Amino acid sequence: MTAQILDGKALGQKLRADFRQRAERLASQDARPGLAVILVGDDPASQVYVRNKVDACAQTGFYSERHVYSANVEAQTVFARIAELNADPKIHGILVQLPLPRHFDADAVLEAIAPDKDVDGFRAENLGALTRGRPCFIPCTPHGVMKFFEEAGIPIKGREAVVVGRSNIVGKPMALLLMHAGATVTVCHSQTRDLKAHCRRADILVVAVGKAKMITGDMIKPGAVVIDVGMNRLEDGKLCGDVDFASAKDLAAFITPVPGGVGPMTITMLLANTLESAERAANAGANLWRS
């Protein structure tokens, strides 16, 4: 078997074409979707992610702002900027690029973002709402993964799903979304005994660890759907995932490549959340006008 590739670039472009039209409609009502991205420090990977997000906004007809600070900026300066952006009607989404320098309390920074502009969906309140099944925004990476399933018609109900990684931004929300969609979910992490045995049971395997090629073909159930969230930079500068693509692709029924799989979908779902936020704001404004 050779796996069908789940192409994040192609699916992202298809979704973004629809977003562009919706953004133009909002712009004609003077309500163009707007995203503000805050970057602290000079981590090269973060700089690339921020540039990609800002470029994606421009290509989709969104307004965007980039606020860049040196690593030794005082936390108060960043909090003050977030407060301004919370009150700015041009801005519908605020994203703080992680990781932040050590002297920042990242949770406190994320909590400072207004709930209706938390387009990453990382605030505790939003994660709690996601646990209940009614989030304000679905975190972008797992949201993008669910779009792959939807687009490819991959059934979830009743299937065994294994998520490797339990971070607040990927593993946990991914597990919750799969559970809400009807899968029986197992979450593995660094303390898991016999990771291979868990992975081998998975009809749907989502890997978000950050260790290059750690999931090899012998850990994959024939016919599984394999989603590789990992992004690792090899010594030769190339990007690779957490899954050993070469050995996995002959066993899986579907697989995401790295690059070109989950990464572009994460940015696409950031646009989706920003657009949704702008549409909610426009509707709220229209309702206020009517009442």
- Selection from 231, 185, 195, 232 nearest residue 216 by Cα: 195
Residue 206 in the binding site for ligand NDP (CB under 6 A): no
Across the strands, what pairs with 233?
239
Is residue 205 classed as helix, strand or coil in its secondary structure? Answer: strand
- Cis ω for the linkage preceding 139 (within 30 of 0): no
Residue 259 in the binding site for ligand NDP (CB under 6 A): no
Catalytic entry in 118, 120, 203, 244: 120
How remote is the C-alpha of 276 from its chain's centroid? 15
Residue 251 makes CB contacts below 8 A (sequence gap 6+) with 1, 3, 217, 220, 221, 222, 223, 224
Residue 198 in the binding site for ligand NDP (CB under 6 A): no
> What are φ and ψ of residue 19, in 5° steps?
-60, -40
Under 8 Å between Cβ of 205 and 157: no
Residue 131 in the binding site for ligand NDP (CB under 6 A): no
Whole-number minimum distance, CB 208 to ligand NDP, in Å? 4
Q: Which of residues 228-247 bind ligand NDP (CB under 6 A)?
A: 229-232
Residue 70 in the binding site for ligand NDP (CB under 6 A): no
- Is 221 catalytic? The answer is no
* Selected binder of ligand NDP within 16, 123, 143, 166 (CB under 6 A): 166
The 8-class DSSP code of residue 122 comes to -
- Is 53 catalytic? The answer is yes
Whole-number minimum distance, CB 189 to ligand NDP, in Å? 4
Token pair 């919750």: residue = 176
Whole-number minimum distance, CB 241 to ligand NDP, in Å? 8
Which residues are the active-site residues? 53, 97, 120
Residues in touch with ligand NDP (CB under 6 A): 141, 164-167, 169-171, 188-192, 195, 208-211, 229-232, 262-263, 266
